[in-house]
Amino acid sequence: MAATLQRIKWAFGLAVTGLVTTLSGAIQAADIQSVRVWRAPDNTRLVFDLSGPVQHTVFTLSAPERVVIDVPASSFKATVNQLELKGTPIQSVRAAMNTPTDLRVVLDLSAGVNAKSFTLAPNAQYGHRLVIDLFDQPAGATSNVATAAATASTPVPTPPPAAPAQPLSTPSVPGKLTPLPTRGSRDVIIAIDAGHGGEDPGALGPNGLREKHVVLSIAKELQRQLTAQRGIRAELTRTGDYFIPLRKRTEIARAKGADMFVSIHADAALRKEAYGASVFALSGSGATSETARWLADKENQSDMIGGVGGVSLDDHDKMLRGVLLDLSMTASMSSSLDVGQKVLNNMGRITRLHKRRVEQAGFMVLKSPDIPSILVETGFISNPGESARLATKAHQQALARAVTAGLKEYFHQSPPVGTYLAGQKDSGKLPQGPRQHVVSRGDTLAVIATRYQVPLHNLRRANNLSTDVIKVGQTLNIPVN
């Protein structure tokens, strides 16, 4: 009996030893192989490419300012001599073994920062990664001394929803109406969003052409052309090669007081034969085609590169707020379809179209209830012919001219109250061409007539309607009032 117990203990000991060895081997299977740096206007991002998953801890030290990254059971095999640190708070990157098995990486800084970190699983372009975000501190702020960050071996928790953006107009006095802006007092503001950027290259062309570079070039050209129009000012959500989370892009547009949000992309398809430009608006009930749904799902995954994950809007609003939000979203979607069709029609004059109607899908950057938003796919970068054209300055300028023409047409017909263009329209100084409206879900003939400020019977007469029944996707002629 004693011999039997002894054999059981011996076997159990071997099993435990094997389990520990296995776990230890899993932890050790990760080294830092390379380092990349991206600079954004208010933060610096370091990306450590790893040979496998890691656990890590990050904390800051002062006098002098440093960020310390401890990575157990790892080694540093990256070369840091060629890192472009100019314009960043990082003065140097150094690494050493803190213990015989544990790695310590130290970032020497010129100023205090707020450090955050998270890990990313492999995707189509990269393997495992450790991301360190260094957020600039306001002038006069001091860093926390030895502030330990939580170990990031598990996914980063979703942050709480951001507080609602404050109105950009003059604050109202309780019991009084806020005065409307003075007629002709401001420009129409258009936010232009160049998709992807930084750690997220977007789609890749046959010759290594990266979507993030192409769309930034088009966005900058579009900004130049729009701002050249009197009464219009264009603002970029990103001005360089750095990543911005998807929801942050619409927050930037809202902070700039945007009247319109235009996101520029050049996507890829599984088939290299796929071709043509497209324009998307938000769909409340899902995509209108399998292609649109596939593109939307892929674009929304970009937020994982920012480590944010899915952040949902607050669903605990009171009934009235929910109704107002729904009405605002309906109006925003209707305007998006209107301007989107104008942009698409103009793009069809200079390039082939994938679809001749505005498609609808659940792109995250379009989910703004207060800003009409469109997503412009300038072509399929996976198509060798379109990829070659997208890389040329001439085609980029032509695409920008087409989008500019569509936006200009829309805002000449429907300028926001208080803008220079609204004053010009009211005084009869803006050319008024034929207007059209593409019926979207939730539209009624009465709502459309109210929106365009035309009598209902004139709207019926202009479209030869004997009843008020209309269909989603139907194009209506809007008479000049």
Reported as a single tens digit per residue, the pLDDT across 385-420 is 999 999 999 999 999 999 999 999 999 988 999 999
Locate tokens 């310390």: which residue? 68
b/e burial code for range 387-423 (CB count within 10 A of at least 16 → b)? bebbbeeebbbbbbbbbbbbbbbbbbbbbeebbbbbb
Tokens encoding 217: 């070039």
Q: In this structure, are residues 128 and 48 in contact, taking their beta carbons and an 8 Å threshold?
A: no
What is the rounded CA–CA span in Å between residue 198 and residue 213? 10
Q: Model confidence at 334, in pLDDT bands (50, 70, 90)?
A: confident
| Mean pLDDT, rounded, for 419-437 | 83
- Among 6-15, 22-31, 245-254, the minimum mean pLDDT is found in 6-15
Which domains can be identified in the chain, with CATH numbers? 28-144 (2.60.40.3500), 188-307+317-413 (3.40.630.40), 434-478 (3.10.350.10)
Identify the pLDDT of residue 368: 78
Q: How far is CA 397 from CA 46, 97, 220, 224, 225, in A?
A: 33, 52, 10, 10, 9
Instruction: State the Cα angle at 414 between 410 and 420, rounded to 5°.
Output: 100
27 or 197, which is more confident? 197
- Statement: residue 312 has pLDDT above 50: no
What is the rounded CA–CA span in Å between residue 363 and residue 146? 40
Identify the pLDDT of residue 196: 94
Closest Cα to residue 153, out of 56, 266, 294, 40? Answer: 56
Q: Model confidence at 433, in pLDDT bands (50, 70, 90)?
A: low
Reported as a single tens digit per residue, the pLDDT across 68-111 is 999 998 999 999 988 999 999 999 999 999 888 899 999 999 99
Q: How far is CA 447 from CA 287, 327, 438, 451, 456, in A?
A: 24, 11, 13, 6, 9
Helices marked H in 156-199: none
What is the rounded CA–CA span in Å between residue 220 and residue 216? 6
Q: Is the pTM of this model over 0.85?
A: no
Report how far Cα 100 is from the mean position of its chain's Cα atoms. 43
| Mean pLDDT, rounded, for 343-365 | 89
Q: Phi/psi of residue 361, each to 5°?
A: -155, 170
Closest Cα to residue 399, out of 257, 265, 251, 261? Answer: 265
Go through the chain and tell me how many residues it has.
481
What is the rounded CA–CA span in Å between residue 140 and residue 43? 17
Identify the pLDDT of residue 140: 59
Q: In this structure, are residues 307 and 120 in contact, taking their beta carbons and an 8 Å threshold?
A: yes
67 or 147, which is more confident? 67
Identify the pLDDT of residue 320: 57
Q: How far is CA 387 from CA 19, 41, 123, 201, 298, in A?
A: 52, 30, 23, 15, 19
- Statement: residue 305 has pLDDT above 70: no
- Measured N-to-C along each axis, helices 393-413 and 211-227 cross at an angle, to the nearest 10 degrees, of 50
